[in-house]
Amino acid sequence: MLTPTPLMRLVSGFWSFKTFAAAVELDLFTKLAGGKSITVGKAAADLGLAERPADLLFAACASLGLLERDGDGYRNSALAEEFLVAGKPYYFGGQVRYCDRRTYLAWHRVGDALRTDRPLTWDPDTQESMFETEDPQLLALFWEAMYSTSIFTARALGEAYDFGAHARLLDVGGGSGAYPIELCRRFPSLRATVFDLPHVAPIAAEKAEAAGLSDRIDTVAGNFLHDEALPSGYDVMLFSMILHDWDEPTNRDLLAKSYAALPSGGAVVVSELLLNADRTGPASAALMGMNMLVETVGGRNYSETEYIDWLTDAGFVDAHVVLFDAPGANGVVVARKP
């Protein structure tokens, strides 16, 4: 029998996120790191909560697969232990904190974005881009969020595509360097460069040094939108979660710059949450497209077919899709310069 139960799940979706975000804000999962078990009463005292809200929070987190019962107490689930303990390699808390702080309230006005076709998290009349902010704490949260989403996505990409076939990688708009760090860890002969804005490149350099990879990862400062050409001397170029920020003409121009900078036989790799050909899903890609409405002037999520067409029009050959499962992308479109 058809019921409105699926609609109620949609209505109450924000309950799950805000419960999750509150637990991350309290550092709950970090406090339970290493298999530690805690009762509700002890947790209430440790977290500065009354018993009732602590009990409700723990039950809710268990229902979401973030905690497990352990006798009279609770402990981290395997998911929480792997990705929600601060300091672990694939810590995902940065993404949770950023969305809670920056995008959640903006999404309350998504109807305004639909009616005006303008972003809600920044003002294009007074700011050059969504990445410009006078709040250093918010900027730090943004880069932490991008890193925490990208580092595991890069791991999945490295399992799906053989970067060992290449010598030098240019990560266009590479931000804090998560993709080069993870890929250079996996492919010992690979060297990489992060190409990003002058105020971003030092962040990537710091991350590469902390990872012990500063001898293989460097940075080049520039602006891929305004510079006439992309840096040359690389046999593979990566656009990781970049093209969804921009409109079609901008993306076509970026791919043309990539084609011009690559040598014969060089490859371009576009890593994104790809829509299917008829633009009916998957939900992760389609809803990220809605987030682009909230956060960008012309961005949207594109289908694998669109990327293949643009790459072919730019002169690339052998364009094909490699699918995988990760938080920041569900696949890549790869093509080669003849």
The model's pLDDT over 233-251, given as tens digits with 9 standing for 90+, comes to 999 999 999 999 999 999 9
Rounded to two decimals, what is the model's pTM?
A: 0.93
CA distance 18 to 138: 19
The model's pLDDT over 69-89, given as tens digits with 9 standing for 90+, comes to 999 999 999 999 999 999 998
- What is residue 132's predicted lDDT score, i.e. its pLDDT? 63
- What is residue 127's predicted lDDT score, i.e. its pLDDT? 82
The model's pLDDT over 310-331, given as tens digits with 9 standing for 90+, comes to 999 999 999 999 999 999 999 9
- What is residue 141's predicted lDDT score, i.e. its pLDDT? 76
Is it the case that residue 140 has pLDDT exceeding 80? Answer: no
Is it the case that residue 25 has pLDDT exceeding 70? Answer: yes
The model's pLDDT over 259-308, given as tens digits with 9 standing for 90+, comes to 999 999 999 999 999 999 999 999 999 999 999 999 999 999 999 999 99
Q: Which two tokens stand for residue 28?
A: 């709950």
Tell me the domain boundaries of the chain.
5-83, 93-336
Residue type, 50: A
- What is residue 131's predicted lDDT score, i.e. its pLDDT? 64
Contacts of 207 (CB under 8 A, 6+ apart): 147, 176, 177, 178, 181
Domain boundaries 93-336, CATH class: alpha beta
Q: Which two tokens stand for residue 148?
A: 């925490």
Residue 133: pLDDT band (50, 70, 90) is low
Q: Of the CATH numbers 1.10.10.10, 2.30.40.10, 1.10.3720.10, 1.50.10.20, which one belongs to the domain with range 5-83?
A: 1.10.10.10
Determine which one of 108, 199, 244, 320 is catalytic. Answer: 244
Number of Cβ within a 10 Å radius of residue 276: 13
Is it the case that residue 134 has pLDDT exceeding 80? Answer: no
Q: Are strands 267-272 and 331-336 parallel, antiparallel or unpaired?
A: antiparallel
- Mean pLDDT across 3-17: 96
The model's pLDDT over 201-226, given as tens digits with 9 standing for 90+, comes to 999 999 999 999 999 999 999 999 99
- What is residue 136's predicted lDDT score, i.e. its pLDDT? 72
- Tell me whether residue 226 is one of the annotated catalytic residues: no
- What is residue 130's predicted lDDT score, i.e. its pLDDT? 65
% of the chain beyond a pLDDT of 90: 90
CB 106 within 8 A of CB 163: no
